Every structure is written in C-alpha cells, then in structure tokens.
Structure 1
C-alpha cells in the first residue's frame, strides 16, 4: 500500500511539473506588423500577422486594441472590437503554428495578446 501511494504521488508531481512547464498560454501568440507600401485615404496601410507558436490550438484569441482607430476598418470576420480588446477570427481556433492576418490603414498600432483558450487535454 505504501509503495502504491508513493508511486501515485510521484506520478502526480511529475504530471503537475510537466503541465506547468509546457502549458500553452496567450503568451505563445506572436504579433508582427509591416507596412504594405500602399496608402488609403492618405494613411499608410499595415499588414498584421498573428502567429500561434504553441503546439496546441488556441481559440478566443483576444488582442489589446483600446484606442485603435483605423482609417480603413478591419473586416469583422478577422478582428472584432469588444471594448478595449479585439477578438480574432470570431473566436475560431488558431491551429498550432498557424497564422491569421489582417490589414488596416491608419497610424501604427502595437497589438498585444491579452487572452486565449487552449484545449485542456492538449499536451504540448
């Protein structure tokens, strides 16, 4: 009985350690932006790329976007403003290693990931 209890505790601890080290979070979302070279209404156009660098899909990816006021609005399918945050791709899953892109015209804006949901059964 004592041996079985020790084995259970060891397995439980290893499981907690491995989950703690490999858990995907919104911090695994990388964002980059580049000018496209086009101008719309006298404003530069920007192409934003959002990359899921986690080994698991992430859904309901939200970005900071308070004060974001593009001259050319982003398609709501790609970026939906919700107060000070914006929901990516209508909350659909962004697979591991996948990218989502959108363009806007206006002043440069620094988007930051602020939230996502990861399938809890996913093991990185």
Structure 2
C-alpha cells in the first residue's frame, strides 16, 4: 500500500513538472519581453544618450535573453554584465533570470535609438499565477 502511494505521488510530481514547464513555454512568447527606449537628456561625445528598459511581462521567469543587435554601436561603454555583444546578438543580464515583471535597464549613446528585438530566451517556472 505504501509503495503504491509513493509511486502515485512520484507520478503526480513528474506529471505536474511537465504541465508547468509546458504552460510556461507556451504562454511566454518573445513579445512578452517589452523594450522601451527613451532619451535621458544627456549628450555624450555629441550623441544623445538612450535609456533602454527591458521588462519581462511573462508570468514565468526568462533567462538567457538574447536580442538582435547587428550593427549596434555606442560611444558610451556598456557594462558587459548587463549587455554583452557576441556577433550579431546581445546577451542581456549575463543570461540571468528575469522573473515576472522584473526589469533590466542600460544606457548607450548614439545618434538614433537602436531597434533591439528579442530573438530567444529560456522560459521556466516559477510562474506567478495570481
């Protein structure tokens, strides 16, 4: 009897793990990463400074967030732990997790705002389902 109960508990946990993981993956499209850019009002080396705010609007955590950044330039140094460029892609927050409603911000200076576009992320629980 005890072995049967333990087996049922184990199967239930295994099943719920897949349900939660699947629901996070299905419910968090890349468009759930909201990117807003605004001018800060500062000028650096003759170029306006831009503030970029990336918000995770997904109910689940997202990590390893990569943005398309082909041709991205800045006359202002950006902390590589916040945004690191590798070829045509940029990694946000050194790949760390952004939970539901969490934000990451950075600034750069260039003539015009760069159109950062999310290209990939890894979505995982915990999911806040309030």
TM-score bracket for the superposition, by shorter chain length:
0.7 to 0.9
Is 1:62 paired with 2:30? no
Structure 2: unaligned runs, 5 residues or longer: 1-18
- Give secondary structure in 2 for the equivalent of 1:95: coil
Provide the aligned length of Structure 1 versus Structure 2: 108
Q: Which runs of 4+ in 1 moved over 6 A?
A: none
1:30 to 29, 34, 39: 34
**TM-score, structure 2 as length reference:** 0.75
Check the 8 A contact 2:69/2:88 in 1, yes or no.
Answer: yes
Q: Give the TM-score, by structure 1 length.
A: 0.78
1:9-48 equivalences in 2 (<5 Å)? 19=23, 22-48=26-52
CA RMSD, Structure 1 to Structure 2 (Å): 2.2
Deviation, 1:20, is 8.9
Structure 1: stretches of 5+ with no match in the other structure: 1-14
Find the partner of 1:116 among 101, 113, 121.
121
